[in-house]
Every structure is written in C-alpha cells, then in structure tokens.
Amino acid sequence: MQVDRSEEIVLNTHQLAKAFKALSNENRLAIYLEILRHREGLLKPDAPQCGGGCMLADIISSLNIGAPTVSHHMKELINADLIEVEKQGKFLLCRINADTQLELEQFFSLSGQIQLESELTPAR
C-alpha cells in the first residue's frame, strides 16, 4: 500500500527525544499524568476549573513525593516543554503544553504518515 505523502506530519525528533527522556522517569510520568487528569476533570469534576491546569500544591498533596523532589521533576518537565507553569499570587498553576501533547499524539497515532524532521535535512 502506498502512503499519500501530501498528508505527512513532520515531527521534531529533538523535541520528541526530550519529551520521552523526561517521561521515562516514574515520578515525572506520575506528575504529568496528574496534571493531565486535572485538566480532563477526572479527579475533581465538581472542583473549580483552573484554566485546564492544577495548582502545584494539589500535585504535591496527591502524590507520595516530597515537595523538593516534585520541584526538581517539575523543572525537568518544563525543560522538556511538556508542561507550562504560571504564577498566580503565591501559587503555581501547572498546565500541559498543548503543542507538545499534540506532537506526541501525532507520533503515536499517525506513525505511517510521519516524516521525521531529521529526514528533511541533508546529513552533515
């Protein structure tokens, strides 16, 4: 079967590698999933919505991970562009980075139509 190349999705291999490396840690994966569940309203459906995110204090209280450890892992998730953090007063609001999530979704759902960014540039 021939693939229609006109509908190829081009993914950034560097970005994907950073995301996979960050999510390969069990604590970071748990934190990412916690933020995702808050966004989807799966944890507290009747709780006030925080613009698709959750407060860092909610993450710390819901996981069996100490605050300094959570802080370290949050920094890694931010560096991998998996999450975004916004200061609201003395609290931190954590959100899933929608662009990176879309790229990950495309990677997993459209593998036959994906062309990697590295395939578009000539080898050096």
Q: pLDDT tens digits for the chain (124 residues)?
A: 444 544 556 678 888 999 999 999 999 999 999 999 887 665 454 444 455 678 898 888 888 889 999 999 999 999 999 999 999 889 899 999 999 998 898 888 876 666 666 666 665 5
pLDDT score of 31: 95
pLDDT score of 38: 83
pLDDT score of 58: 87
For 122, other C-beta atoms within 10 Å of its C-beta total 4
pLDDT score of 48: 47
* Beta-bridge partners for 55: 93
User: How far apart, in whole angstroms, are the C-alpha atoms of residue 38 and residue 55?
Assistant: 9
pLDDT score of 120: 64
User: How far apart, in whole angstroms, are the C-alpha atoms of residue 101 and residue 105?
Assistant: 6
pLDDT score of 45: 46
pLDDT score of 109: 83
Buried residues in 56-75 as b, exposed as e (16+ CB within 10 A): bebbbebbebeeeebeebbe
